[in-house]
């Protein structure tokens, strides 16, 4: 293209990103290697709850894009939750350092760059990390999410759901791992055989597999994560001096189980969905989640888990919550979820293998048609800090495809160090609320006491009395179960049990 044609095409693309309201500024249009600082590419803040995808190979600039988006959301008064698995994003809490590269990127993108720090909260899963410890109860987490963490198959997942239901019906609070371990140990013991038989569909062998998986999770540090006090999602919705608080979750002692990280955030999202009121169309979202390493959320996930994620992603936007999935390949995200993501920020892809080439071809097909770029070539030749972008306009239509030179973060593009994170966590107002573990009476204590009482009774109790003469025990049971009032009661109880199972499946059945 001639320089005039290039400028005209850049202006035409930029016109598709014009907004009447507040927007997240991503960068500027690039055509044939030429950047136009006046051709701005942006995401309307009102459409952020239509969700998004940030993808690209390692080293292409995904993390800096996440940083830029989180900064601008915070500046607009929108709280952000970030899964900082690699510890790269703690620099959000400190002002950035100006240098020649930053100044050049600011000129290219038309950005009046200034070093800026943003309010950040550092939290860790469990007590083994350097941030404020965050926990969830076993009951709150639910059987589907816990099955994902434990790596259970569909049959084992179903069995775990029945075990949860039995504990709930018995009034046995499942707060930490030792509670669930005690319940399964009881059900697989000689004393619990009758209880196991009453559940139906639960084999001792399958319960034993689940028990061993729990022991392994405990050995990997899971015992410090499950328990009380349980996270109150309202603590993620804070705004300080007009800026949204950015909550950074680090792995803590869960390095051996990174799936727990993303699965926990899914639990928080489901809990918010359960408790937030309908919001309708908003000028800006109430909260934005950014799932880093999103492939971990879907890897080896059961059908039930995927269906629940899909449903949550579809419906939570009506509660004013936006979600960004960050991963290497768009194909890491199931199609049912991918189809719900309105914004696409695609950094460079590598096509070294046949699988890579197939993923590239699929990615190209997900973008609107463009006469300006050869997308297959563009996606393999993007420079670091450049991306192919399309988002939803304020009218809900896809914007033109834009090869975009992304803005530089205004906060520090480096980690601030463990000592600084520890200091921030110690000074946090959340520390007093979550730092100390609470271990109140629950399933473990009740079953332990019951076992002790049973052992005492077995030593002191007289021989069992035989049924009354002329009234065999079997006939007595049949007579009771045949009573119409008893039948009606049992149907009601079964219906209530069904509601209870569905209520707690995805970890929204909080037990306060």
Is 43 within a domain?
yes
Residue 469 lies inside a defined structural domain of this protein: no
| pLDDT, mean over the chain | 86
**Boundary-marking domain end, from 370, 405, 427:** 427
Q: Would 266 be classed as within a structural domain? A: yes
What pLDDT does residue 473 have?
42
State how many domains the chain has. 2
Note the pLDDT of residue 177: 93
Q: What are the pLDDT digits (tens) for 120-146?
A: 999 998 888 899 999 999 999 999 999
Give the Cα separation of 229 and 238 in Å (integer). 19
Confidence at residue 437, expressed as pLDDT on a 0 to 100 scale:
92
Residue-wise pLDDT for 88-116, tens only, equals 899 999 999 999 999 999 999 999 999 99
The pLDDT confidence band at residue 502, using thresholds 50, 70 and 90, is very low
Boundary of a domain, candidates 387, 405, 427 = 427
Q: Is residue 114 part of a domain?
A: yes
**511 in a structural domain:** no
Residues 453 and 363 in one domain: no
* Shared domain check, 245 and 208: no
Which of 16-30, 304-318, 496-510 shows the lowest mean pLDDT across its residues?
496-510
| pLDDT reading at 457 higher than 70 | no
Residue 387 lies inside a defined structural domain of this protein:
yes
Alpha-carbon dihedral of residues 248, 249, 251, 254, nearest 10 degrees? 170
Say if residue 33 is in the same domain as residue 98.
yes
Give CA–CA dist 306/205, Å, rounded.
26
pLDDT at 192: 84
Same-domain pairing of 260 and 115: yes
Question: CB-based contacts of 144: which residues, under 8 Å, 6+ apart?
Answer: 157, 161, 302, 304, 305, 308, 505, 506, 507
Q: Quick check: is 467 in a domain?
A: no
Same domain? For 393 and 290 the reply is: yes
Give percent above pLDDT 70 in the chain: 87
Tens-place pLDDT, residues 230-289: 999 889 999 999 999 999 998 765 555 677 888 888 888 888 888 889 988 899 999 999
Assign residue 262 the CATH number of its domain: 3.40.50.300
pLDDT above 90 (res 493): no
Which domain range does residue 341 map to? 3-135+231-427
425, 375 Cβ separation under 8 angstroms:
no
Clarify whether residues 285 and 258 are in a common domain.
Answer: yes
Examine the domain organization and report whether 255 and 338 are in the same domain: yes
Confirm whether 182 is domain-assigned: yes
Cα–Cα distance for residue pair 375/344, rounded to 1 Å = 14
| In contact, 227 and 176? CB cutoff 8 Å | yes
344 and 301, same domain (yes or no):
yes
Q: Which residues share a beta bridge with 24?
A: 43
pLDDT score of 508: 46
**pLDDT attached to residue 97:** 95
What percent of the chain has a predicted confidence (pLDDT) above 90? Answer: 61
CA-based torsion, 82, 87, 93, 97: positive or negative? negative
Averaged pLDDT for residues 216-228? 85
Average pLDDT, integer, range 362-386: 93
What is the per-residue pLDDT for 345? 97
* 340 and 281 co-located in one domain: yes
Residue closest to 13 by CA, chosen among 285, 464, 373, 462: 373
d(CA 271, CA 321): 12
For 54-68, write each residue's pLDDT tens digit: 999 999 999 999 999
Mean pLDDT of the 202-207 span: 88
The pLDDT value recorded for residue 11 is: 94
Based on the fold, state whether residues 129 and 167 are members of the same structural domain. Answer: no
Whether residues 127 and 143 fall in one domain:
no
Supply the pLDDT for residue 274: 86
Domain's final residue, options 427, 450, 484: 427
Q: Are residues 79 and 159 in the same domain?
A: no
């Amino acid at each position: 293209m001639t320089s005039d044609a290039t400028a005209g095409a850049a202006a035409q693309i930029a016109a598709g990103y014009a907004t009447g309201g507040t927007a997240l500024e991503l960068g500027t249009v690039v055509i044939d290697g030429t950047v136009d600082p006046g051709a701005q590419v942006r995401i309307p803040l009102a459409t952020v709850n239509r969700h998004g995808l940030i993808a690209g190979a390692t080293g292409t600039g995904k993390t800096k894009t996440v940083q830029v988006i989180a900064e601008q959301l915070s500046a607009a008064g929108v709280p952000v939750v970030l899964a900082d698995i690699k510890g790269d994003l703690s620099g959000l809490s400190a002002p950035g350092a100006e240098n020649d590269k930053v100044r050049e990127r600011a000129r290219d993108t038309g950005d009046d760059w200034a070093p800026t720090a943003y309010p950040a909260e550092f939290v860790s899963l469990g007590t083994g990390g350097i941030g404020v410890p965050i926990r969830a109860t076993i009951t709150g987490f639910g059987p589907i999410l816990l099955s994902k963490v434990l790596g259970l198959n569909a049959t084992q997942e179903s069995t775990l759901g029945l075990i949860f239901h039995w504990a709930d019906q018995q009034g046995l609070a499942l707060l930490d791992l030792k509670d669930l371990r005690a319940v399964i140990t009881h059900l697989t013991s000689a004393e619990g055989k009758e209880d196991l038989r009453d559940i139906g569909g639960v084999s001792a062998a399958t319960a034993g597999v689940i028990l061993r998986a729990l022991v392994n999770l405990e050995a990997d540090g899971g015992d410090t994560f499950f328990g009380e006090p349980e996270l109150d999602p309202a603590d993620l919705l804070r705004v300080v001096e007009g800026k949204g608080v950015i909550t950074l979750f680090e792995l803590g002692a869960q390095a051996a189980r990174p799936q727990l990280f993303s699965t926990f955030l899914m639990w928080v999202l489901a809990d918010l969905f359960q408790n937030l009121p309908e919001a309708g169309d908003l000028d800006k979202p109430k909260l934005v989640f950014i799932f880093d390493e999103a492939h971990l959320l879907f890897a080896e996930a059961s059908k039930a888990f995927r269906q629940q994620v899909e449903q949550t992603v579809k419906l939570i936007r009506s509660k004013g919550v936006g979600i960004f999935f960050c991963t290497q390949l768009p194909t890491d995200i199931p199609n049912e979820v991918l189809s719900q993501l309105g914004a696409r920020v695609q950094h460079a892809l590598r096509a070294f293998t046949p699988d890579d080439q197939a993923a590239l071809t699929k990615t190209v097909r997900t973008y609107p048609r463009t006469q300006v770029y050869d997308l297959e070539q563009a996606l393999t030749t993007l420079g670091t800090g450049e991306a192919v972008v399309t988002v939803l306009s304020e009218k809900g239509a896809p914007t033109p495809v834009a090869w975009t030179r992304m803005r530089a973060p205004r906060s520090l593009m480096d980690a601030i160090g463990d000592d600084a994170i520890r200091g921030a966590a110690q000074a946090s107002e959340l520390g007093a609320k979550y730092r100390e573990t609470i271990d109140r009476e629950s399933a473990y204590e009740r079953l332990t006491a019951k076992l002790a009482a049973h052992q005492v009774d077995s030593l002191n109790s007289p021989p069992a009395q035989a049924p009354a003469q002329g009234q065999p025990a079997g006939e007595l049971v049949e007579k009771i179960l045949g009573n119409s009032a008893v039948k009606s009661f049992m149907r009601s109880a079964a219906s209530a049990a069904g509601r209870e199972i569905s209520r707690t499946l995805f970890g929204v059945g909080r037990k306060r």
